[in-house]
Amino acid sequence: MKRLQTCGFSEFDSQVRAGMPGYVRPLSESIESGDGRLSSIGFDPSDASFRLWGFLRSEEARLSEAVKRGKKLVGTMKDLGTVPVLAYSLPDLTAFYPDGAWWLPCMNVGAKALKAASALGIGENICPVRAMIGAFEMRENFPLPDRLICSVGATCDDFSALAQFLAGRGHDIVWWEIPHRRQPGANEEVVRLSGGTYAPVSQVAFVREELRRVVRVLEDLAGMPLSGEMMRTGIRKTNAVRKVLGKIRETVFCAGSQPVGSVELLIAEMLAIHFCSDPDESMEVLAGLLGQVEQRVAAGEGFSAEDAVKVFWVNPPADFGVMNILDKLNCRLCGTDFMFQHALDQIAEEEDPLTALAMCALADPMAGSIADRADRIRREAGRFGAEAIVVSRIPGASHCAFEGRIIADTLTEHLDIPVLQLEIQSSGCSMDQVVGGRMEALCETVRSLRR
């Protein structure tokens, strides 16, 4: 088995090739323009990875290009993976997630967005998604959308409050509701959702009606009706992306050595929700990554040694660099739940499209109980043979304080593997000292348990 090493940005930049899409620019350009955090990250040295990073860093340019081509922009907020399917089913709409500003601090541009939010009084007591407010305020990082659509109901307090704050500053928002996914009553008709959860049929019907309201808004914006067939096409396109992502995850989690950098896997999974700003190019990027992963598995190459500690990672870390620690400590990912597991599941193509999307929205782990989420983590951690769970806490997020304990209790009871909770600051200051030290202790624990 050949063990691969991550590389610094200079070496990474040397891979720029002729023939790569125009948006794939050297990282040094981003670093010079303020994304200083990239200079401290270790990268997976491959063309596929380079293209992935290029795609991640170029959303603003691609959205601006879409506007130039006459497309209307839909900013979809909070619902992870539902409204964009409807939006890009209409030819003249392009959807994106302003919530994606969450990731800006990971590259340092966010420091500017965070400062702009802080200037309005929104500081570190609020989840890093507050960078979205800064981005709107500065009119940077994405063009202002023509329509903002935000899901509410069973959502985290911080996002709901931030979205309302945004509305209070004059941004018109269309709100739609995803209720808390409850346990069906004894005599209620039940539907099975993706991920092994259940919901009462009445809740699916409710969300379906809410989506009908959203469809009307999108039709008004696009100036044309959205037919069932158009929605089906959008769903098939989404499923194709999810299928490739599913293959990447399955291959990575089952490989002898982790065949992709941990940061790059995180970014690839992010495309499950962020691909909507350019579905066709996303597909190309992910297909390239899958090819790379399969090729490395066949060649016996990867970033982890055979005795690597198998980690299941819960929640997106507010700092890309923390994923590098996994590679450095000879850990490997054997399962992830970055809060949008439902956006990796296939949408039911045989269902009425709006019903299928309502089921998708209700399957959101954040819409249901923590126990449901813990149960899925338990099943997947068991399936991929994870030896430890890391619950990465997002500073200031309303759900994080609770879920760590319930997830830890559930997994300890059923799997008997160690669970570590980490708070990852978006400032990155605690990285090596605190987070690295705690991760190191987790690895030692796992290795001693093996004996």
Partner 1 sequence: MRRIVHCSNRVPDWLIRAAGFEPEMYQPGRTIPDGPVPDIEGVCPFARMFVNDTCRRDDTDGIVFTTECDQMRRSAEFAGSIKPVFLMNVPATVTEHGSELYADEVERLAGFLVNELGGTMPAPETLRSVIERRPDETGRAAAEGAGRNKVMLLGGHVCVPVGVFRTLLDDYALDVVAETLSQSGRGLDACATTGVDSAALVRSAAKMQFQDGCDIHQRPNNKFHSVVRSMVDELNPDGVVLLRQTWCDRWYLEMLRFRETLGISLLDVELNGPSIDARAVCRVQAFAESLAG
Q: Does 176 bind partner 1 (CB under 8 A)?
A: yes
Report the relative pairing of strands 147-153 and 72-77 from DSSP bridges: parallel
152 touches partner 1 (CB under 8 A) = yes
Please tell me what DSSP assigns to residue 182.
Answer: P
With respect to partner 1, which residue has the nearer C-beta, 125 or 433? Answer: 125
139 backbone φψ class: left, alpha, beta (φ>0; ψ -120 to 50)? left
> According to CB under 8 A, which residues from 354 to 373 bind partner 1?
369-371
Residue 167 binds to partner 1 (criterion: CB under 8 A): yes
Residue 184 is a binding residue for partner 1 (CB under 8 A): no
Report H helices in 69-200.
83-87, 104-107, 109-119, 131-138, 157-168
> Rounded to the nearest whole angstrom, what is the least distance from the CB of residue 354 to partner 1 in the complex?
14
Whole-number Å distance between alpha carbons of 357 and 344: 13
- Answer for which of 162, 221, 271, 326 binds partner 1 (CB under 8 A) is 162
**Residues 314, 335: Cα–Cα separation, whole Å:** 9
57 vs 30: CA distance, rounded Å:
8
Residue from the set 402, 437, 441, 447 that interacts with partner 1 by CB under 8 A: 402
396 binds partner 1 (CB under 8 A): yes
- Under rule CB under 8 A, which residues in 111-140 are in contact with partner 1? 120-122, 125-127
Q: Give, as ranges, the residues between 75 and 104 that touch partner 1 (CB under 8 A).
A: none
Q: Does 177 bind partner 1 (CB under 8 A)?
A: yes
Query: What backbone phi and psi angles, to 5 degrees, belong to 245?
Result: -60, -40
**Least distance (Å) from partner 1 to the CB of residue 177?**
5
Least separation in angstroms between residue 443's CB and partner 1 is: 25
Q: How far is the CB of 397 from partner 1 (least distance, A)?
A: 8
Considering only 44, 59, 79, 210, the residue that binds partner 1 (CB under 8 A) is 210
**DSSP notation for 221-280:** HHTS---HHHHHHHHHHHHHHHHHHHHHHHHHHHSSS--S-HHHHHHHHHHHHHGGG-HH
Nearer to partner 1, 173 or 217 (CB): 173
175 binds partner 1 (CB under 8 A): yes
**DSSP reduced 3-state for 309:** strand
How far apart, in Å, are the Cα atoms of 358 and each of 241, 250, 251, 362?
Answer: 19, 26, 29, 6
Q: How far is the CB of 113 from partner 1 (least distance, A)?
A: 17
User: Which two three-digit tokens encode residue 382?
Assistant: 């068991």
Q: Given the rule CB under 8 A, which residues bind partner 1?
A: 120-122, 125-127, 150, 152-158, 160-165, 167-168, 173, 175-177, 179-180, 182, 185, 202, 206, 209-210, 213, 369-371, 393, 396-406
